[in-house]
Structures are given as C-alpha cells and as structure tokens.
C-alpha cells in the first residue's frame, strides 16, 4: 500500500530521517512510536507529500509519489495533523465538507452524494449533532473528531494520523481509536502515538523510531521489548501480558522513586 525505499530527509544541514525502508500492508493498523524529536511527524509528512518527494523513494499503491498530483493524492491519502488550529469562522459542516474538495470541480458545488458522505462521516465520528456549530466553539476533543470526519469524507484508502489522541481524556482516546480501527476494514491506518499501551492494543504492527532511524518494526510483541524500549527511550520498564488482550502492557519504572524508598515509605504510612 505504501512503500518507502531508502528515504533520507534533512532540514537544512540536519539529518532527520536516515535509510527508512517500509512496506506498509493494506488494511492494517500501524503505529509509529519513538521519543520526541525522533522524526515521527517528519516521516508522515514525507508520505503525505508535505515535502517535494525524491523520485523512486515513496510509492502509494505502486505509484511513485513524485508523479502523483496533489488532487489525486488527496483521493488516496487523508491526513489528520497534530493539534489542528482553525482560526476562521467555519461551521463544523463546512470543515467536513472540505474533505470532498478533491472530488468537486472548481466551478460546481457539492452533490447530494457529497452531502451523504459528509453526513455518514460525521455520524461515524459522533459529530453530526455539532454540524451547525462554529469550529472555534468546540473543545479540543470535539475538534479532533471533526478533523477525523473531514479525513473520512475524503474517502481514501490510507489514513495518516499524527497524535490523534493527544488532547483526549481516556474515554475519548478509546472511543477515537475504536472509531478509527473499525471505520472500514478496507482502510490502511498509520498513526503516530505516544502511548505505548494504546499502540500495543490497537496496532497490527509498530514502527519504532529513534534519532530518525527505524530501530524495530513488527508486531507489538516483537517491538515492545524491554531492550527496544530502553534503546528508544532510555528508561527501564516492566512488561506484563495484558490478561484480556494478551498484548504487552508496559509499566515504566522510576529509578528515582525506588532509590528514594518511596514505595517502602508509603507502605509504612498506610499501616
């Protein structure tokens, strides 16, 4: 679905991505993990053509990204950026309708089919009741769902999301990831996440980045090991098997708390 061959990327003189090779399979859920600044967003932005691509490096459905026109790409790949700020007086409906732009001719307006798709996308993301509200009046979580509705209205086979759960409480994190995971089984999802346990639960595959390089890629069991996590994040963790999902569940260890005898003291205090 997405093939990346030896991708290298620099901002000015600074190398951000080095020798990235990926073969993203159709209809799977991929998470990209890695510490702050490791290049996760930059990788997604290379795939969505935010930067001028280099020939023969990134392929979307077997087509070289270099040759794909932006309007055509918008029918193949939708994109939910980090913390979208919309500073105009658009209604929620207007925002979601923008997802239909790649299909609407410059001189025509939206068709009943476009409106039907918009309604469906809003119902799936539980935003239909917000349709007449001004986008500026929404909470961070509601706005995030609207941006996802816009991406769904684009009707693409690939959905890229950059930290989609970052503004959300735990209920809405699960609700959002459930929505994405079960939207449509024919969608390939690539999401940057920070929460290792959510990534573990929802991903078919995880890509772990450190300093612009892939240090591990595979199933959650293959990637979320003590060694890989130490290598990526420089912390020690305990890993248990989640009793329900049977996926790895990561518990970070604070050496400071242990060194300062915090747990023994709190036990003593509770007696």
Ligand X SMILES: Nc1ncnc2c1ncn2[C@@H]1O[C@H](COP(=O)(O)OP(=O)(O)OP(=O)(O)O)[C@@H](O)[C@H]1O
Residues that bind ligand X (CB under 6 A): 11, 16, 34, 36-42
Q: Cβ closer to ligand X: 41 or 222?
A: 41
Q: What are the angstrom distances between the C-alpha of 104 and each of 73, 117, 154, 158, 180?
A: 14, 13, 11, 20, 25
CB of 15 to ligand X, least distance (A): 9
* Residue 137 to residue 140: CA distance in whole angstroms: 10
CB of 231 to ligand X, least distance (A): 15
Q: Cβ closer to ligand X: 118 or 209?
A: 209
CB of 162 to ligand X, least distance (A): 7
CB of 132 to ligand X, least distance (A): 33
Q: Cβ closer to ligand X: 33 or 158?
A: 33
* Residue 158 to residue 238: CA distance in whole angstroms: 34
Q: What are the angstrom distances between the C-alpha of 43 and each of 16, 73, 169, 220?
A: 9, 16, 26, 20
CB of 66 to ligand X, least distance (A): 21
* Residue 250 to residue 77: CA distance in whole angstroms: 32
CB of 267 to ligand X, least distance (A): 36
Nearest to 213 by CA among 202, 235, 228: 228
Report residue 7 as tokens: 């991708």
Q: Cβ closer to ligand X: 13 or 259?
A: 13
Helix (H, G, I), strand (E, B) or coil at 121: helix
Burial class (CB within 10 angstroms; exposed 0-12, middle 13-18, buried 19+) of 229: buried
Q: Cβ closer to ligand X: 97 or 192?
A: 192
Nearest to 127 by CA among 103, 151, 111: 151
Q: Cβ closer to ligand X: 187 or 208?
A: 208
């Amino acid at each position: 679905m997405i093939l990346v061959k030896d991708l290298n990327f620099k901002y000015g003189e600074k190398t951000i991505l080095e020798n990235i090779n990926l073969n993203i399979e159709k209809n799977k859920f991929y998470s990209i993990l890695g510490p702050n600044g490791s290049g996760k967003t930059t990788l997604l932005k290379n795939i969505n053509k935010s930067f001028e691509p280099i020939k023969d490096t990134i392929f979307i459905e077997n087509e070289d990204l270099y040759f794909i026109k932006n309007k055509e790409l918008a029918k193949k790949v939708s994109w939910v950026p980090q913390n979208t700020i919309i500073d105009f007086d658009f209604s929620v409906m207007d925002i979601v309708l923008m997802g239909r732009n790649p299909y609407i001719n410059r001189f025509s307006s939206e068709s009943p089919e476009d409106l039907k798709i918009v309604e469906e996308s809003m119902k799936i993301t539980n935003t239909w009741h917000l349709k007449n509200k001004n986008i500026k009046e929404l909470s961070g979580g509601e706005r995030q769902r609207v941006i996802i509705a816009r991406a769904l209205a684009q009707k693409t086979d690939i959905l890229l999301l950059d930290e989609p759960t970052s503004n959300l409480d735990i209920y809405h994190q699960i609700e959002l990831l459930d929505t994405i995971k079960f939207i449509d089984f024919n969608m390939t999802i690539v999401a940057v996440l920070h929460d290792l346990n959510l990534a573990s639960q929802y991903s078919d595959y995880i890509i772990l980045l450190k300093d612009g390089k892939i240090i591990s890629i595979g199933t959650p069991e293959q990637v979320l090991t003590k060694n890989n996590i130490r290598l990526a994040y420089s912390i020690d963790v305990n890993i248990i098997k989640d009793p329900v999902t049977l996926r790895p569940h990561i518990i970070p260890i604070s050496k400071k708390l242990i060194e300062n005898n915090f747990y023994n003291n709190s036990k003593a205090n509770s007696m």
